[in-house]
Structure 1
Amino acid sequence: MPEGTKLAEEQVFTYRVLDEFSSFDPQVVEDVNGSEVVRDLFEGLYNQDADGNNVPGVALSHTVSEDNMTYTFTLRDNAKWSDGTPVTAGDFVYAWQRAVDPELASPYAWYMELMSIENASAIIAGEKPVTELGVSAPDDHTLVVKLSQPLPYFDKMVTHATTFPAPKWAIEAHGKEWTRPGNIVSNGAYVLTEHVLKERSVRERNPMYWDNENTVLDKVVTLVIGDDAQALTRWRAGEVEKTEIPAGQYPALKEEFPEEAYALPRLCNYYFTFNLESGPEAFKDARVRKALSYAIDRQVIVDRVLQGGQFPAYTFTPAATAGFEVPAVEYAGMTQAERDAKAKELLAEAGYGPDGEKLSFTYLYNTSEAHKQVAIVATQMWKQKLGVDVELSNQEWKVFLETRGNQNFDMARGAWCGDYNEASTFLDLLTTPSGYNDGKYSNPRVDELMTEAKSSANAQPLYTEVEQILAEDMPVVPVYHYSTNMMLDDSIQGWPVNNVEQNWYSKDLYKVAE
């Protein structure tokens, strides 16, 4: 913080989340908000700075072998768990083996596969024991990782929660209850002291953290508030210091609170996914999928519904992605009137519409006022332009994740925030083996290109071809690319506004005196 900063007497940061977290277990957590908490409770090999660059966490540095297949991390000797036990390379080996263990069935096991760690795929498939994973600890402060192929962005991937260390002794003592306050042992700047399901959670400074003397916030409180408007009211009343801006309200709030209303480009996409496995028969026809995509007026959704600096999406990968050039895809270059005309033509060709069979389906989204507004506008566009009937269905977050993951839907809301800043974090989702390919889209050429991209010195031409195939097959409908729309009280300083992944750490924040 700048010299001479006058700090507030009470260093407590309270913020709002929409829904309950998926988990506090680093190898199980699968949502953005849950990962924010996990980054406070646990520390991986590297953290990110305010611009999204890697900075030392438990690892001070690493070296890479000449063939780019072996990474050797040197760990600090002063890292401790909250119970005083030293953090060792063995804690990482245990956590990484746990992440690929079919017994844990981590929803993020596939991430370890994407990291190209030796034998990860075979272990996840149950063909090899976890002990065969290409990760070892020759001593307490050295972690060696062997890859199955060179991966230029491997070190960017270790800031992700799935790769954080885990305390074997606490997990063995408490089983699934190990993440409860009182049971949990963590190595981050904070410890979990309270958790009331669907209501609140509290994390407080971890005195054992190696850099505790430079931590300023003493306590971080999250409140679960399921309604955007109510959350904003509570922000205005000073009960929470950070909340999301309700859809459409950014322009007015920016005028009213110029220093506290934010719209920041964010490494996330928002899309509709077709269930190609067990969804409506009509969805198996690419013409139907393209018709539904073309008929969406994305400009109306971002300019009139959301109004928070979001970007209309015609590709799956956001333009904010490092090193990614947005390829030209045919429908992006059309006017909306041309897209609408093409949509009618494609739907009729497929045998649906006014002169053919009636198309109707259900759209599933997780409960939120903004998602509901987007859903209503999209379904009105489909109804007016194409005569399609859509029934809306919403579920709370955890139930929604399960329903979508089990393919119990026709069309569902999808959104993805980059796990690291490179195009593959998005495009890998639509490969056949991906754990989050909820629509079960499968195209051998896409799989082939994405495999090739992993070891390519210049992957852009491959990503361009993948995006062009996606525009042709339309397994998902890209709707918009996010911006972070939030109200942040000006007493809270140190927010990483330039980090497009919006990975923030409470240890880097501080509260100034009013």
Structure 2
Amino acid sequence: MYKNKVSQAVLLGMAMAATAFPSFAANVPDGVKLAEKQELVRGNGTEVESLDPQKVSGVPESNVIRDLLEGLVNQDGDGNLIGGVAKSWESEDNKTWIFHLREDAKWSNGDPVLASDFVYTWRRLADPKTGSPYASYLEMTTMKNAGDIILGKQSPEKLGVVAVDDHTLKVELEKPLPYFVAMTVHTSMKPVNQKVVEKYGDKWTSPDTYVGNGAFQLDKWVVNERIVLKPNTHYWDNEKTVLTQVSFLPIENQVAAMNRFLAGEIDMTYEMPNEHFKRLVKQHAESVKVTPYLCSYYYEFNTAKAPFNDERVRQALSYAIDRDVIAKFIVGKGETPAYNFTPLATNGLDVEMPDYAKLSQKERVAKAQALLEAAGYGKDKPLQFDLLYNTSENHKKIAVAIASMWKKSLGVTATLENQEWKSYLDSKRQGNFDVSRAGWCGDYNEASTFLGIMRDGHSQNYPKYANKQFDGQLDKALLAHTPAERAQAYKASEALLAKDMPIMPIYHYVNARLVNPKLGGYPVNNPEDNIFSKDLYIIAD
């Protein structure tokens, strides 16, 4: 998932027997007195692209949709899988999955949530007519015929999902996938109401027509100002929801968000201004939350354009970045330098650092200079290109620092170009960029959620990277019989990325934000940062 951006033993385990998983809601500890006013205000980074789960690809959108819509499963505060619309599920072979849905799950208009709603939604996700930026995610689940449907070779009705009856959903995969259930947590897999979508088309997401099945429903949406949610009284677990209102504010400037937090206007920021982090830790330690985060910050090349179709140019620019300086001094909140795409904390990952990671920065620069000269660039022919990033002071500071490194060590001129979130995403999807800032957050805790987007033809593969050997290693991982075999395939995949360099890994995130100390239920052990407002509550002074 694009970031503006967990310990789950089930991911790599054997097929599960039929088991009922308990619901998780805001269980207020004994002795905790609740505030009379239960209204939460969150900074959300930017104006959302949409509130249609099959039309979005970013973290800000998912933050809101997670409250409005509920998929088959949710996560608790530690990232463990728990029941959502599904009260239980089972598989004997990790290939055919049966989900048993709650009879009391309802849409916000009072209609029952049925197995057929998921069939409709997933067909819609795969249908090329929808144009979902996350269509390839369905192919990554190996759901039967998903790949052919996305390419227009088969009709959406051929997708491997059927409603056995109103409350039983059957899913058929082409290959065994032990972590399939975890993949259904993702935003793109959340159901939409067929009658509403077909009646209103793209306008179904307006407050007057939005019908969801989550713990909250859309009350107001003032573009570039705020999105306001109120409890969905038809939600099956509504009696445990404590908050009476949740507001999301599109604040792109981290300093402005910090100031509004310190003034008591918001309860949770999207991020923190890097340059104020140490001061905030010193002066407001009770409000600073730094937690693990399965996210990678990187720059991507448009490999379909010269000179970035030359791996020597890509390698040179990557080697010249001093990642230690970026991680420790430019961001400096506990982030770690990255020489591979997948965060090292990801379940089942075993990565060997590439050779350039073992060099000193001086040695990397010397190697970068030689590579760029071999590619035909130097004083007489300096390399110039545009560097795209989405509007953010933090992204700007990083871009300025890296552009300076390139200029100083290689004589390269990178012209910075910032675009607001929607335009930035559109530019990347259309291939209108040279080099672009990117951030990817794991959609589930397994290496394929990162490496899979680099597969040839993936809808999120904006660098247009194509390597049959790389794709073959991902296929090996999918067919692996043991975790060790799978890890070996992922190691080989990372090695190919380090050689071909379609992207430049820069650092692995931590999640650092300001949080009201009076906000109860805030999850500190979920590295995917999946926060459900139904689990939160405000404590009295």
Is 1:345 matched up with 2:370? yes
- Contact 1:254–1:262 (Cα < 8 Å) also in 2: no
Is 1:248 matched up with 2:275? yes
2:143 to 83, 107, 117: 117
> Following superposition of structure 1 onto structure 2, how do residues 190-339 of structure 1 map, counting pairs within 5 Å?
190-243=216-269, 244-277=271-304, 279=305, 281-339=306-364
- Contact 2:350–2:490 (Cα < 8 Å) also in 1: no
C-alpha distance in 2 between matches for 1:36 and 1:390: 33
User: 1:422 maps to what in 2?
Assistant: 446
User: 1:367 maps to what in 2?
Assistant: 391
- Contact 1:187–1:209 (Cα < 8 Å) also in 2: yes
Q: C-alpha displacement at 1:349, in angstroms?
A: 2.1
| Paired residue secondary structure (2:473) | helix
C-alpha distance in 1 between matches for 2:129 and 2:386: 34
2:241 counterpart letter in structure 1: T
C-alpha distance in 2 between matches for 1:353 and 1:264: 43
Is 1:404 matched up with 2:415? no
2:249 counterpart letter in structure 1: L
- Contact 2:215–2:241 (Cα < 8 Å) also in 1: yes
1:55 counterpart letter in structure 2: I
Q: C-alpha displacement at 1:455, in angstroms?
A: 2.2
User: 2:504 maps to what in 1?
Assistant: 477
| Paired residue secondary structure (1:248) | helix
> Following superposition of structure 1 onto structure 2, how do residues 458-497 of structure 1 map, counting pairs within 5 Å?
458=483, 459-497=486-524
- Contact 1:495–1:509 (Cα < 8 Å) also in 2: yes
C-alpha distance in 1 between matches for 2:117 and 2:89: 17
1:321 counterpart letter in structure 2: T
Q: C-alpha displacement at 1:478, in angstroms?
A: 0.4
Q: C-alpha displacement at 1:426, in angstroms?
A: 0.5
C-alpha distance in 1 between matches for 2:474 and 2:452: 7
User: 1:27 maps to what in 2?
Assistant: 54
2:472 to 448, 452, 456: 448
C-alpha distance in 1 between matches for 2:157 and 2:51: 25
User: 2:69 maps to what in 1?
Assistant: 42
1:484 counterpart letter in structure 2: N
Which has the higher mean CA deviation after the structures are superposed, 327-336 or 128-137? Answer: 327-336
1:96 to 119, 122, 131: 122
- Contact 2:64–2:248 (Cα < 8 Å) also in 1: no
| Paired residue secondary structure (2:49) | coil
Q: C-alpha displacement at 1:328, in angstroms?
A: 2.2
User: 1:76 maps to what in 2?
Assistant: 102
1:358 to 382, 391, 399: 382
2:263 counterpart letter in structure 1: A
Q: C-alpha displacement at 1:247, in angstroms?
A: 1.6
1:323 counterpart letter in structure 2: G
Q: C-alpha displacement at 1:184, in angstroms?
A: 0.8
Which has the higher mean CA deviation after the structures are superposed, 239-248 or 387-396? Answer: 239-248
1:383 to 396, 407, 430: 407
1:395 counterpart letter in structure 2: Q
| Paired residue secondary structure (1:327) | coil
1:169 to 167, 173, 195: 195
1:260 counterpart letter in structure 2: S
Is 1:149 matched up with 2:175? yes
- Contact 1:43–1:187 (Cα < 8 Å) also in 2: yes
- Contact 1:248–1:308 (Cα < 8 Å) also in 2: no
Aligned residue pairs: how many? 510
C-alpha distance in 2 between matches for 1:73 and 1:443: 36
C-alpha distance in 2 between matches for 1:221 and 1:388: 44
C-alpha distance in 2 between matches for 1:287 and 1:265: 34
| Paired residue secondary structure (1:308) | coil
Is 1:134 matched up with 2:160? yes
- Contact 1:152–1:455 (Cα < 8 Å) also in 2: no
Which has the higher mean CA deviation after the structures are superposed, 320-329 or 162-171? Answer: 320-329
C-alpha distance in 2 between matches for 1:472 and 1:363: 22
C-alpha distance in 2 between matches for 1:338 and 1:248: 29
2:250 counterpart letter in structure 1: V
Q: C-alpha displacement at 1:198, in angstroms?
A: 1.3
Is 1:10 matched up with 2:34? no
Deviation readout 1:289-317 (Å, 9 max, x if unpaired): 11111110011111111111111100000
Deviation readout 1:414-454 (Å, 9 max, x if unpaired): 11111111001100111111111111111110011112211
2:244 counterpart letter in structure 1: D
Q: C-alpha displacement at 1:282, in angstroms?
A: 2.4
C-alpha distance in 2 between matches for 1:510 and 1:181: 24
Gaps of 5+ in 2: 1-27
C-alpha distance in 1 between matches for 2:71 and 2:179: 16
Q: C-alpha displacement at 1:132, in angstroms?
A: 0.8
- Contact 2:71–2:191 (Cα < 8 Å) also in 1: yes
| Paired residue secondary structure (1:122) | helix
| Paired residue secondary structure (2:366) | helix
Which has the higher mean CA deviation after the structures are superposed, 169-178 or 190-199? Answer: 169-178
1:343 counterpart letter in structure 2: A
Moved over 4 A (4+): none
Q: C-alpha displacement at 1:248, in angstroms?
A: 2.6
| Paired residue secondary structure (2:327) | helix
Q: C-alpha displacement at 1:130, in angstroms?
A: 1.1
Deviation readout 1:7-26 (Å, 9 max, x if unpaired): 01000000112211121112
C-alpha distance in 2 between matches for 1:169 and 1:155: 27
1:438 counterpart letter in structure 2: Y
- Contact 1:265–1:310 (Cα < 8 Å) also in 2: no
Q: C-alpha displacement at 1:166, in angstroms?
A: 1.3
Q: Percent identity?
A: 46
2:90 to 52, 56, 63: 63
- Contact 1:194–1:203 (Cα < 8 Å) also in 2: yes
Q: C-alpha displacement at 1:126, in angstroms?
A: 1.1
- Contact 1:225–1:231 (Cα < 8 Å) also in 2: yes
- Contact 2:350–2:488 (Cα < 8 Å) also in 1: no
C-alpha distance in 1 between matches for 2:488 and 2:127: 35
